[in-house]
Structure 1
Amino acid sequence: MQTQTTTTFQHATGGKSAAVARSGWDRGRIRPVAFWATTFVIVFELIAGSVWNLVPIEWVEAQLRHLGYPHFFAYVLAAWQAGAAIAIIAPGLPLIKEWAYVGAFFLWSSAVASHLIVGDSLQTWGVPLVFGACAIASWALRPADRRLPATRLRRERRADAGQDGAGPPETRPRAWAVPIGLLVVLYAVSFLTLPAAEAMTHGWAVELGWIDE
């Protein structure tokens, strides 16, 4: 009887341990996927936004007039958007990343506030709200090598401490290859799709009453 009870207990605890291990493994896989998905969204939006503001396209000019911002504000935004995109996607640079995330969140939260102040509907401020949420998610999910030492999760700090004092991995030159390649591709896509973007946003601006047909 005791042997049967012991065996049953071992099966139960073994099953529970396996379930916990699977749960941890799933979280370990989901976290980086969610991080890179949200990071890709905000980096692409920052790059596309910098291109749209640099030109600037009709949509940008109409929106600035509608919100009461000066024309040159588009060029200021373009510069900061490009810098933030580079800082966020690049390896290392944890302190610069903190400021880039703050700037990105300030950009989109200010857009939401600006549209709300002038009485715009969800159709206009819903999009920057989503991008702001993605920025928060990307910031919260960023891995250890993209965090300041003081802000690392305890689990990640323990992992670093267990590497015989090696500390966080160094950022090697080849680690920049993928981010640089991605930036080039995203900028190319943004420029190549500019005519289509102008045509699409022209219809939006007319529909919203920001410009006359």
Structure 2
Amino acid sequence: MSKRNKIIYWIATALLSVGMLNVGIVQLIKLDVEVETITILGYPPYLMIVLGVSKILGVIAILVPKFPLLKEWAYAGFFFTVAGALISHMILGQPIDSYYFPCSFSF
């Protein structure tokens, strides 16, 4: 792998890892907005613990340099998690601009 490709890989991996770690922590601490979102989607709030733990473990699996098969499974898990969330929002008919902020915020 060339130096350029390694840089691109690690930038993409870092961005994915930070995003998933952030969401995993938010789900574990059961932030009110996240609880409201998952409830609107029709899922039980206890599912947030399973999702949060799996995202944090997935980030660890991706960042560990060995175990390529485990890394592949972590990437697959992230894909199915994001695809499932996208489909859940689409089924409810939420507009595309609300995928990141599905609940009403008051600033």
TM-score (normalizing by structure 2):
0.90
Residues 1-213 of structure 1 mapped to structure 2, 5 A cutoff: 28-125=2-99, 205-207=103-105
Q: Report the structure number with the largest CA radius of gyration.
A: 1
Query: Would you tell me which structure has more helix in proportion to its own residues?
Result: 1
Q: Considering only aligned residues, what root-mean-square deviation do their CA atoms show, in Å?
A: 2.1
CA distance in 1, matches of 2:20, 2:104: 24
Query: Residue 103 of structure 2 aligns to which amino acid in structure 1?
Result: A
What is the identity percentage for the equivalent residue pairs of Structure 1 and Structure 2? 26
3-state DSSP of counterpart to 2:2: helix
CA distance in 1, matches of 2:48, 2:20: 13
CA distance in 2, matches of 1:206, 1:87: 34
**Unmatched 5+ stretches in structure 1:** 1-26, 128-200
User: How many aligned positions are there?
Assistant: 107
Residues 99-136 of structure 1 deviation map (CA, whole Å, 9 limit, x = unaligned): 100001111111111110100111133x5xxxxxxxxx
**Unmatched 5+ stretches in structure 2:** none
Question: How far off is 1:82 after superposition?
Answer: 0.8
Q: Which has the higher contact order (CA 8 A, sep 6+)?
A: 1
Query: Residue 206 of structure 1 aligns to which amino acid in structure 2?
Result: S
Question: How far off is 1:29 after superposition?
Answer: 3.3
Residues 113-170 of structure 1 deviation map (CA, whole Å, 9 limit, x = unaligned): 1110100111133x5xxxxxxxxxxxxxxxxxxxxxxxxxxxxxxxxxxxxxxxxxxx
